[in-house]
């Protein structure tokens, strides 16, 4: 039998009681009690306590067990035994130990550490229980996303990462030389390409890394993050919101089903996630502004002399994090806010035929302070309207010619959105900082490891 099939893992142990197995892993902790030695072995699938008792295993094997240090790599052979005193309910009585390497001076002790220290040792921090749980939840979130789209008639159509110009013209992008063709930019969104793809395959999604060179210093921003962007031909804004709700409900319920241990390790309140069932809440931007003003959520405004006054929230301003947080405090599941003022939204969003002042845009806000996880819209499908918006924003028309072509050859109503993978994982896992939910975060002052 191949190693792939014969390799036993810790998560399989409850089905292997009474059998002798060999586990391959790393020592996460060791406790000496004289003639008794407990070794906690970690193999990526779980942790199990292995027991060495000097009188029953002999001096030589006991000394081997005794010599192990934190993060030493070992293969331990032993008999699986049900044990109520062990943390996982299962224990291994050691019959043999093969030491691959004794680890010396492992920097992360089982005690408290600050995040700066831990981020410097991110390549090792990933081995800890909490980070391990987050990464497994992340893996489940990504699986849920792909299952959802693959199972609902969507096709994966990845967008390029190197792009000739800024997609939206608003945020700062990373630049790089591109042979003799001038400057290229790292993509901030695959959306424009997703629109072209949707005209070819109907329902598509792109899934990949995205880059923003903004100097953001908050616990919900990264300079490199993963985004999934579905785009659907013949879908209007309402259809778009339906897809967004279905997707988020599916992701949350999938993680609940597949990651109960990981959520428990995070100390996550499961009932809050169980409540994430359709329908979610929806309100228009205008209703949201009214709600803010009715509930006395005032806006701090700086005056010319530097002093601050509090004013009613003016219709037309974009919501900041404080407004979104205030609105979400009343909700126990996500809320979609739709029909934002045209001026604060991107050029490619279609205006509402019933009210030219607002765009057919929508953002989904997650509860528990998680904030915005989705931004999307129905797209402008009229050639002249789109051209006018590009010119109005002073964007280079030449660079967008291919995008305008989509409005020339069989234009149809279409919609889509982008979901931030890390913000979703942060919300579901209950991690307090976004840098914990991606294996190797990229932030303004950190690119190592």
Q: Which stretch binds RNA (CB under 7 A): 5-13, 30-38, 144-152, 284-292?
A: 30-38
Q: Does 68 bind RNA (CB under 7 A)?
A: no
Which of 122, 136, 203, 220 lies at the binding interface for RNA (CB under 7 A)?
220
Give the residue with the Cβ less far from RNA, 157 or 434: 434
Residue spans of beta strands (DSSP E) within 285-370 = 299-302, 308-311, 335-338, 351-352, 355-359, 361-366
The beta-carbon contacts of 313-321 under 8 Å, at least 24 apart in sequence, are: 313/289, 315/286, 315/289, 315/341, 316/341, 316/343, 316/344, 317/344, 318/344, 319/288, 321/218, 321/371
Give the residue with the Cβ less far from RNA, 112 or 398: 112
* Short-list 347, 403, 338, 320, CA closest to 374: 338
Q: Give 360: exposed, middle or buried? Use CB within 10 Å, 0-12, 13-18, 19+.
A: buried
Q: Give min distance, CB of 385 to RNA, in A.
A: 20
Give the separation between CA 413 and CA 182, rounded to whole angstroms: 34
The count of C-alpha atoms lying within 13 angstroms of the C-alpha of 446, restricted to the half-sphere facing its C-beta, is 18
* Number of residues forming the site for RNA (CB under 7 A): 68
Which of 11, 21, 29, 236 lies at the binding interface for RNA (CB under 7 A)?
29
Which of 352, 418, 425, 429 lies at the binding interface for RNA (CB under 7 A)?
418
* Chain centre distance of CA 214: 19
Which of 203, 221, 333, 379 lies at the binding interface for RNA (CB under 7 A)?
221
Q: Does 117 bind RNA (CB under 7 A)?
A: yes
Q: Does 360 bind RNA (CB under 7 A)?
A: no
Q: Give 275: exposed, middle or buried? Use CB within 10 Å, 0-12, 13-18, 19+.
A: exposed
Which of 34, 182, 267, 306 lies at the binding interface for RNA (CB under 7 A)?
34
Give the residue with the Cβ less far from RNA, 372 or 385: 372
Q: Which stretch binds RNA (CB under 7 A): 145-153, 207-215, 254-262, 263-271?
A: 207-215
Give the residue with the Cβ less far from RNA, 180 or 308: 308
Q: Does 414 bind RNA (CB under 7 A)?
A: no
Q: Does 408 bind RNA (CB under 7 A)?
A: no
Q: Does 132 bind RNA (CB under 7 A)?
A: no
Which of 76, 237, 374, 406 lies at the binding interface for RNA (CB under 7 A)?
374
Q: Torsions phi, psi of 379, nearest 5?
A: -90, 155
> What residues contact 416, with CB distance under 8 A and at least 6 apart?
191, 194, 195, 198, 229, 230, 231, 232, 235, 240, 376, 377, 379
CA separation (Å) from 310 to 88, 299, 301, 344, 367?
55, 5, 6, 22, 26
Q: Does 434 bind RNA (CB under 7 A)?
A: yes
Which of 26, 148, 205, 225 lies at the binding interface for RNA (CB under 7 A)?
225
Please list every residue from 261 through 320 that binds RNA, using CB under 7 A. 318, 320
DSSP class of residue 320 equals: -
Q: Does 83 bind RNA (CB under 7 A)?
A: yes
**Residues near RNA (CB under 7 A):** 29, 31-36, 38, 49, 51, 53, 55, 69-70, 83, 85-87, 91, 105, 107, 109-117, 119, 168, 170-171, 189, 212, 214-222, 225, 227, 318, 320-322, 344, 363, 371-375, 418-420, 422-423, 433-434, 443, 445-446
């Amino acid at each position: 039998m191949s190693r792939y099939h014969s390799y036993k893992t810790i998560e399989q142990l409850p089905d292997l009681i009474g059998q002798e197995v060999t586990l391959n892993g790393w020592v996460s902790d060791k406790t000496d009690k004289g003639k008794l030695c407990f070794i906690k072995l970690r193999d990526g699938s779980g942790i199990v306590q292995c027991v060495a008792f000097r009188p029953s295993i002999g001096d030589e094997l006991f000394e081997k067990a005794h010599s192990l240090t934190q993060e030493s790599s070992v293969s331990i052979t032993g008999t699986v035994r049900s044990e109520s005193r062990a943390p996982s309910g299962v224990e291994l009585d050691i019959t043999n130990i093969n030491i691959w390497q004794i680890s010396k001076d492992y920097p992360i002790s089982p005690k408290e550490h600050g995040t700066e220290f831990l981020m410097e040792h991110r390549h090792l921090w990933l081995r800890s229980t909490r980070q391990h749980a987050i990464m497994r939840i992340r893996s489940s979130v990504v699986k849920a996303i792909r299952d959802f789209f693959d199972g609902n008639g969507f096709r994966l159509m990845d967008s390029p990462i190197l792009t000739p110009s800024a997609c939206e013209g608003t945020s700062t992008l990373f630049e790089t030389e591109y042979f003799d063709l001038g400057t290229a930019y790292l993509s901030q969104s695959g959306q424009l390409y997703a629109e072209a793809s949707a005209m070819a395959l109907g329902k598509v999604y792109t899934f990949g890394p995205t880059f923003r060179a903004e100097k953001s210093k908050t616990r919900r921003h990264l300079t490199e993050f993963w985004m999934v962007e579905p785009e659907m031909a013949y879908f209007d804004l309402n259809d778009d919101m339906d897809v967004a709700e279905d997707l988020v409900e599916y992701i949350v319920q999938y993680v609940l089903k597949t990651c109960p241990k990981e959520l428990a390790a995070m100390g996550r309140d499961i009932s809050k996630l169980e409540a994430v069932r359709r329908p979610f809440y929806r309100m228009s931007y205008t209703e949201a502004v009214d709600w803010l003003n009715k509930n006395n959520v005032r806006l701090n405004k700086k005056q010319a002399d530097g002093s601050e006054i509090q004013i009613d929230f003016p219709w037309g301003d974009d919501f900041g994090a404080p407004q979104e947080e205030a609105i979400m405090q009343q909700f126990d599941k996500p809320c979609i806010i739709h029909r934002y003022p045209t001026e604060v939204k991107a050029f490619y969003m279609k205006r509402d035929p019933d009210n030219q002042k607002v765009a057919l845009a929508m953002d989904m806000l997650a509860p528990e302070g998680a904030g915005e996880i989705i931004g999307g819209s129905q797209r402008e499908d009229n050639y002249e309207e789109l051209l006018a918006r590009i010119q109005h924003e002073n964007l280079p028309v030449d660079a967008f010619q291919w995008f305008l072509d989509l409005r020339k050859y069989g234009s149809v109503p279409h919609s889509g959105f982008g979901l931030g993978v890390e913000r979703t994982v942060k919300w579901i896992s209950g991690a307090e900082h976004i840098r914990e939910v991606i294996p190797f975060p990229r932030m303004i002052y950190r690119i190592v490891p």
